[in-house]
Amino acid sequence: MVSTCTVKLNKLFIMEKAIYIAGTGMTPFGEWWDKSIRELMDEAVEKALESAECNALDIDTIIVANMLAESTSNQAHLGPLAANLLPHAPPALRVESACASGAIAMHTACGLLESGRSETILVIGVEKMTDIAPSDISTALMGAADAEKDAPCGLTFPGIFGLVASSYMNEYGLTREDLSLVSSRHHANAAKNPYAQFRNQVTPENVTNSTKVADPLRMLDCSPISDGAAACILSTKFASSFRLAASQIATDSVSITDRASLTSFPATKDAMSKALKEAEIERDEINHIEIHDCFSIAAVINVEDLGFAEAGKGINAYKKENSSLTINASGGLKACGHPVGATGVKQIIDSVKQLHTSKKQFALTQNFGGACASCAIHIIEQV
């Protein structure tokens, strides 16, 4: 059934306790052939604990965000694997929601903290993607799409976003040259980020002339295959200068064949409107956004769905810089890398860094899974 209704009748749940970001740590993203999934998690956890006021024994729950460990590392059961990185092996669980696993793990943690079942939770996002052949990773990632409606024709995720891009270009007249501005900007931003996988500058011409992957998308429109881990300690007990002002999730149909339109993602709009209400702020109070640019066209659509541009005008955000709103100052998924389970956690860590440097109050992260079949939005406040 094609969904034609974008207004969801979900009840709005508001954060009932102050949840602080008590510690953060991550590995640089890249190709880490000599590090296992356990070692990547260990490195991120150690850095998160170092940065926190609390110690390892204060962690009462661990949530691991991961999508592909069974396919890429023959390793399931990541909860206990992570728990045993700490001396007291606390209770642990795993959350999977494709590329949104990281942010949805954060959302899960919020629920446990608000209910009082936990006081300090360690959220770890991790993915080890470079151990298997690119064609196999491509097949594994298609698990985020509909196996019976999308995959049988031989579609890949770049293919899905190639369809999205062709539809968007046809509807709004976006040119190939304009689309190239997105990756170019993200690469320029990543040049300053020591944790980014690619810190090289890329010109719009480089993007336009790179190899075709899924017409009209080129190689430099696509986020890379990466290894990496990011860890975040959330606590209602240990206060810090940063808190989660909103944590909202929304869903849409998994298959793009069930969507009324390919040029907008209703789940983003839904989660965004709920997040603004939860944080009790206006959109223009937000100074930094980290958006899910798995493909350059997704960044353009996200800017529009988040309400920072009108439909069809998202590219304007990339045509000139806006000092009051930074977009993917970390380099985004394109240049930082996209170890899928880690990305949502990493976006929150980067937002904390950006608020810390700019001394501004609000930052926002948007992390989605599949073709935005699941979406999580977090608003981070500097208090």
Partner 1 sequence: MTNPPTQHRAQKKLRNNMQEGTILAITTVSHPPAGFNKAPRNIALIKLNNGTRVLGCLTTMDSAAIGKTVRPRMQLQRVMETGLRIYDVSYEPVLMKEVKQESLDHVFPGYIIALSGPSGVGKSTVSSLLVRTASEYVERVPIITTRKGMQGDNEEYIHVTNTEFKEMCDRGEVVACTNIPDRNVQRQYGYKAKDIESIWTKGKIPVVVTEEHLLQGLSDHFGRRSLLSFGLLPPGESKRAMLSQLLHRLRKRNRDTKESIEDRIKNAEKDIDCLRERNDLFDHILVNEHLESVIDTLVGHVMNTAKTK
Take residue 310 and report the two structure tokens written for it: 């009108």
For the CA atoms of the chain, what is the radius of gyration? 19
User: Is the Cβ of residue 68 or residue 81 nearer to partner 1 in the bound state?
Assistant: 68
- Does residue 338 carry a catalytic annotation? yes
CA distance 126 to 102: 8
CA distance 361 to 382: 5
Q: Which of 23, 216, 332, 337 binds partner 1 (CB under 8 A)?
A: 216
Q: Is 298 in the site for partner 1 (CB under 8 A)?
A: no
User: Is the Cβ of residue 79 or residue 158 nearer to partner 1 in the bound state?
Assistant: 158
Q: Which of 18, 86, 151, 325 binds partner 1 (CB under 8 A)?
A: 151
User: Is the Cβ of residue 151 or residue 325 nearer to partner 1 in the bound state?
Assistant: 151
One-letter amino acid at 125 equals G
User: Is the Cβ of residue 84 or residue 167 nearer to partner 1 in the bound state?
Assistant: 167
In order of 35, 125, 189, 344, 370, the CA distances from 195 in angstroms are: 16, 15, 12, 15, 25
Residues 108-147 that bind partner 1 (CB under 8 A): 133-136, 138-139, 142, 147
Q: Which of 256, 267, 300, 377 binds partner 1 (CB under 8 A)?
A: 256
Q: Nearest to residue 370, comparing CAs of 67, 38, 55, 5?
A: 67
Q: Nearest to residue 302, comparing CAs of 249, 266, 248, 337?
A: 266
**Minimum distance between the CB of residue 6 and partner 1, rounded to whole angstroms?**
17
Task: Identify the bridge partners of residue 374 per DSSP, sorted by sequence position.
Answer: 251, 369
User: Is the Cβ of residue 204 or residue 216 nearer to partner 1 in the bound state?
Assistant: 216
Take residue 330 and report the two structure tokens written for it: 């970390």
**At a CB cut-off of 8 Å and minimum separation 6, what does 93 contact?**
61, 62, 63, 64, 79, 108
Q: Which of 15, 164, 254, 309 binds partner 1 (CB under 8 A)?
A: 164
User: Is the Cβ of residue 7 or residue 153 nearer to partner 1 in the bound state?
Assistant: 153
Stretch that binds partner 1, among 43-51, 58-66, 250-258, 292-300 (CB under 8 A): 250-258
User: Is the Cβ of residue 211 or residue 324 nearer to partner 1 in the bound state?
Assistant: 211
Q: In the chain, which ranges are continuous DSSP H helix?
A: 37-51, 69-73, 78-83, 101-115, 134-141, 157-172, 176-190, 204-209, 266-279, 296-305, 316-319, 332-336, 340-358
Task: Identify the bridge partners of residue 127 per DSSP, sorted by sequence position.
Answer: 228
Q: Which of 159, 204, 224, 332 binds partner 1 (CB under 8 A)?
A: 159
Q: Is 34 in the site for partner 1 (CB under 8 A)?
A: no
User: Is the Cβ of residue 152 or residue 194 nearer to partner 1 in the bound state?
Assistant: 152
**At a CB cut-off of 8 Å and minimum separation 6, what does 20 contact?**
234, 235, 236, 238, 239, 240, 242, 243, 244
- Active-site entry in 338, 372, 375, 378: 338
**273 in Cβ contact with 282 (< 8 Å):** no
Residues 343-362 that bind partner 1 (CB under 8 A): none
Q: Is 211 in the site for partner 1 (CB under 8 A)?
A: yes
**Minimum distance between the CB of residue 255 and partner 1, rounded to whole angstroms?**
8
Binding-residue total with partner 1 (CB under 8 A):
39
**Minimum distance between the CB of residue 260 and partner 1, rounded to whole angstroms?**
9
**Minimum distance between the CB of residue 229 and partner 1, rounded to whole angstroms?**
26
Q: Is 74 in the site for partner 1 (CB under 8 A)?
A: no
Establish how many alpha carbons lie within 13 A of residue 350's alpha carbon, considering only the half-sphere containing its beta carbon: 32
Establish how many alpha carbons lie within 13 A of residue 156's alpha carbon, considering only the half-sphere containing its beta carbon: 14
Helices 157-172 and 296-305: angle between axes, nearest 10 degrees: 60
**58 in Cβ contact with 120 (< 8 Å):** yes
- Does residue 99 carry a catalytic annotation? yes
**Minimum distance between the CB of residue 141 and partner 1, rounded to whole angstroms?**
9
Q: Is 262 in the site for partner 1 (CB under 8 A)?
A: yes
Residues that bind partner 1 (CB under 8 A): 2, 133-136, 138-139, 142, 147-156, 158-159, 162-167, 170, 211-217, 256-259, 262
The catalytic site residues sit at 99, 338
